[in-house]
Chains A and B, each alone.
Chain A
């Protein structure tokens, strides 16, 4: 599979009164065509910021984003416009990401209008097709977002993202605000669409069960860094980083009599304004060593493309 998207040493700092928030700090990864890369972590780890950087909703402080091998920062206006058609995003909250004063047909057709695809009449037909694709009855064309439930609103967001036939979609917590029975419908829809439309996803979520379900590969983030990345089965069966281990152990699972290791982490996530020196996880790590407080571990291949940034793993 060829590489579709590549992030190289991405950095995003937000200036605030007290200094700089290190939201994303030297993050690199690549996404192959047709696969889903899951980006998982807790609030403030930089996963959503990473997603937004990839679609250039916000500009990186430094680093490069390559799309089909081309640096999107170096593209001129016309090239960037073309790239924008191929790269779309679905947001978490389908209420705040839809215009409350536009009927949903208009919202779904807006990207077509902006890119001047077809006549007004033709676009309406295309919107009907898009609506059916995502399981919305075209009868709902003139409904407004507030008239729909969360699940159907999210389908509108998906239809809009599909309107320009993109190759790559950033899904930013697309099911987090939905009830479980509806969440399952949307997850299945995203998977069906991926197959039918040959889509590549970056799937950002805090929910490990969901990420595992939908992703081929997973990257775990903590305080702006990727601490581990591997194929989905490897990450779950051979979890290497102490943070990933704790994260997995913390997921409550709806089953009886589960005998499992309980790893309760101490304290909370340190401030991203002044992240700890050395390994950023060392302040909470149950397996920390002396070196962890002073030297930052690099993300290194532990075999078979399973990357991990931890001194303990390499016996340093």
Chain B
């Protein structure tokens, strides 16, 4: 089939709390093509996880409310599907890998059982067959099948995350959403897990959304990048476009914040100010109070998304008459 596997448009999600309404995702849109990996990057509170939960139909409600939008997955709008049908997709055709494997695994069930459970829930398999397939999945993530009957606490952090990956891949999903899958791991273990995810993604011909705050991880595994700030995608494009020709002042700021490990003397230039208060987002462009190139219009008007050759940016500098250049 042609066309994107996933197309999100105009997605808005709010959390209604006693203190007020938190606008977590504001009119978000992006698409993901088959076999590709999209990196969703941003700092805490940018709305990355809420976006993922919306696709999974798992936004906690209350307090969360999906106010508008469409999430077209393989021709179906997930937001309009009844829960009964969503259940057939979740964990089967779309699965999710969470940050902390200790909390996403059940501590009182063996890892083998947890993988075979995922299989049995979605596929018409005999118990023995599910068990055989689960053991096979363990081997695929480089865990000896002999450890099938062990419990999560008997594994190291990196191995636990591999168990979670085996669970996510067990039903051979078309889409995997990985939410900071390596953030809790040490770097050498992170390298192992990223390498494994890359090769399994190829092998299973799965598409992936990789949610991360780490631009290094994006550079390592993603084909496309979407940078989020205060519930919006402020810049999107191919890895090359965003990494070698970042346009949005926030994206550029992010790159300048990271000490360069390859330079003799690295200079970091922080982004001034604080993350915006989610209960009280700034008017106009939400980044304007911290933006070094803020103009009058930025304070009042939300910029439109502008796109050229697949490189999109949401910034007045690049709209008609804006001072946008690549300097």
Residues of chain A touching chain B, judged by Cβ–Cβ distance below 8 Å, are 42-43, 149, 151-152, 179-185, 187-188, 206, 208-210, 212-214, 233, 236, 246-256, 258, 262, 264-265, 268-269
Contacts and interface: CB of A to CB of B under 8 A. Distances in A.
Contact of B257 (A181, A212, A246, A264): A181
Given A151-B274, A181-B270, A182-B275, A250 B190 contact: yes
A252 B270 CA distance: 20
A270 to B, nearest CB: 10
Contacts of A246: 188
B213 A179 contact: yes
B43 A180 contact: yes
Given A151-B274, A250-B187, 9 more contacts: A43-B186, A180-B254, A184-B256, A187-B268, A209-B266, A252-B219, A253-B219, A254-B218, A256-B243
Contact of A184 (B244, B261, B268): B268
6 contacts: A43-B186, A181-B43, A183-B257, A184-B271, A249-B191, A265-B192
B180 to A, nearest CB: 13
B289 to A, nearest CB: 13
Given A185-B270, A187-B259, A187-B268, A255 B43 contact: no
Contacts of B257: 180-181, 183-184
A236 B261 CA distance: 8
Nearest to B250: A181
Contacts of A183: 257
B contact residues, range: 35 or more
Given A180-B43, A264-B195, A268-B189, A251 B270 contact: no
A145 B75 CA distance: 48
Interface of B: 43-44, 156-159, 186-192, 194-195, 213-220, 239-240, 243-244, 253-262, 264, 266, 268-272, 274-275
Q: Is the interface of B mostly helix, strand, loop or mixed?
A: helix
Given A250-B191, A253-B219, A181 B254 contact: yes
Contacts of A248: 261
A209 B275 contact: no
B225 to A, nearest CB: 10
B217 A252 contact: yes
Contacts of A182: 43, 270, 274-275
Contact of B186 (A152, A206, A233, A256): A206
Nearest to B196: A264
Given A185-B270, A209-B261, A253-B261, A180 B187 contact: no
Given A252-B194, A253-B261, A268 B44 contact: no
Contact of B156 (A187, A206, A268): A268
B188 A265 contact: yes
Nearest to A188: B270
B188 A253 contact: no
A251 B261 CA distance: 9
A181 B271 contact: yes
A256 B188 contact: no
Contacts of A188: 268, 270
A251 B187 contact: yes
